[in-house]
Structure 1
Amino acid sequence: MMKCKKWISAMMAAALSVSLLSGCGSKAKTNTPDASGAAQADASAAAQNEVIRVWSDNAHEKELRMEQIAEFNNTIGKEKGITIEYTVYGANWEDTIKVAAQADEAPDLFRPNGTFLKEFVDSGFFVPISDLPGSEDFLARYDGVLAVNQHIFNDKVYTLPYNLTTTKFIINRDLFDKNGIKDAPKTWNEVREYAKIITENGGGEEFGYVLGLKSNWIATSYIIRPAGQNVGHIGFDNDT
Structure 2
Amino acid sequence: MLVAAAVCPCPPLLVPAVAAGAAPELDPVRDACADALGVLAAARPDRLVVVGAAEPGGPYPEGSRGSFRGFGVDLDVRLGRGGGTASPEARLPASLVVAAWLLDRTDWAHAPVEGLGVGEPLAVERCIQIGRDIAGSAERVALLVMGDGSACRTLKAPGYLDDRAAGFDAEIARALAAADIAALKALDTGLAREMQASGRAPWQILAGAAEEAGLGGSLLYDDAPYGVGYLVAAWS
Fold similarity call, TM over 0.5: no
Structure with larger Rg = 1
Asked which structure has the greater RCO (Cα within 8 Å, sep 6+), the reply is: 2
Q: Name the structure with the higher strand share.
A: 2
- Shorter-chain TM-score bucket reads 0.3 to 0.5
If the length of structure 1 is used for normalisation, what is the TM-score? 0.32
